[in-house]
Amino acid sequence: MISSVDAATSQFLSGLNQIQQRAERAQRQLTTGLRINTVSDDPNQIASLIQTQAELARTQQLDANLGRVKTEVDTAETGLQSAVSLMDRAMTLGSEGESNTNSAQQRQDIAGELGSVLQQLVSISQTSVEGRYIFSGDSDQQTPYTIDLTQTNPISAYAGSAATRQIELPDGSLVSVSKTAQDIFDSPDATQNVFQAVNNLRTALLNNDQAGIDAALPNVQSAGAFLNAQLAFYGTVQNRIASGQSYGSSYETSLTAQISGIRDADATEAITDLVQAQTQEQAALTSRAKLPTTSLFDYLA
């Protein structure tokens, strides 16, 4: 088989093709703003680019998760602040009712106010965010407690479950983000049981039971202190989330810069490459046009 293209022509066409590819690559960089548009643009950097992009996507997702959890934790912290204030109010009411100068009716009136405090505490335990009961543990579609002041034991059994949910921070560490209403309000330790302490004081006042009032007040005070400790837990979680968001923001900036360094085009360099390629292409075509041409008839003459 005889080739219709001689070696010199083949070499010229190959060189011209390389020049045109260089021009096309430079033009593509200027159009897209990217140095790497296809794998062939820089095969050695593709693995690094993909890995860095994946890490950025992961960090952005973790940051979004932290934003949602922050809303829950902030809401829980606000609720417990209110609960601490309610326990202070319960202590004040109990101290007023403890005085033996009170009549039975006066103590019943104070007990009525304590009933309202107890209802508000249960309401706080029922706090929800985006349709999730944040104090129900992993069973966040279930109301943790209900209350019926007409009953001897007005507070229902805990209807939630344990809280095992953790959130991953951008640095890879894990943080437990919640406690259950049972942990917070319904401890098996009578000196830490918020519901029981308030209800015992309420019942003693209703019954005009001086000894019962005297016995109930210390538990109201200790349960209030315990509630403060639960509030501190959420303050610690808030700090961890804030730290995680700050770290994540800095890390995202760093990853974005890394991706830009790998992928983004240098406009000045691309323009220079394009101009040089166009100049070389024109020079090659001009030089080629000046070469003498021969045909079969020249060899037969």
Q: Does the pLDDT value for residue 157 go beyond 80?
A: yes
DSSP string, 101-128: TS-HHHHHHHHHHHHHHHHHHHHHHT-E
Query: Quick one: average pLDDT of 19-30?
Result: 61
Interhelix angle 210-263/43-98, nearest 10 degrees: 170
Residue 69 lies in a domain: no
Tell me the per-residue pLDDT of 108-128, one tens digit each, with 9 for 90 and over.
999 999 999 999 999 999 999
Per DSSP, what are the bridge partners of residue 128?
133
Query: Quick one: average pLDDT of 175-197?
Result: 96
Percent of the chain beyond pLDDT 90?
64
Whether the Cβ atoms of residue 41 and residue 35 lie closer than 8 Å to each other: yes
Residue 56 lies in a domain: no
* Residue 44 pLDDT: 75
Residue 164 lies in a domain: yes
The closest of 197, 173, 36, 188 to 114, measured between CA atoms, is 197
Residue 6 lies in a domain: no
Residue 205 lies in a domain: yes
Q: Does the pLDDT value for residue 62 go beyond 50?
A: yes
DSSP string, 268-292: HHHHHHHHHHHHHHHHHHHHHHHS-
**CA angle, 92 as apex, 91 and 93 as ends, to 5°?**
90
- State both tokens at 29: 């960089």
Q: Does the pLDDT value for residue 236 go beyond 70?
A: yes
* Residue 257 pLDDT: 87
Total of domains in the chain: 1
Whether the Cβ atoms of residue 115 and residue 202 lie closer than 8 Å to each other: yes
User: For residue 200, which phi and psi values (nearest 5 degrees)?
Assistant: -65, -40
- Compute the distance between CA of residue 174 and CA of residue 168 in angstroms, rounded to an integer: 5
Residue 273 lies in a domain: no
Residue 1 lies in a domain: no
Q: Does the pLDDT value for residue 264 go beyond 70?
A: no
Q: Which domain does 164 fall in, by range?
A: 74-258
**CA angle, 226 as apex, 224 and 230 as ends, to 5°?**
110
DSSP 154: -
Q: Does the pLDDT value for residue 160 go beyond 60?
A: yes
Instruction: Indicate which CATH number applies to the domain containing 234.
Output: 1.20.1330.10
Buried b (16+ CB within 10 A) or exposed e, 50-78: eebbebbeebbebbeebeebbebbebbbe
The closest of 280, 231, 201, 194 to 80, measured between CA atoms, is 231
pTM of this structure: 0.74
Residue 222 lies in a domain: yes
Whether the Cβ atoms of residue 160 and residue 144 lie closer than 8 Å to each other: yes
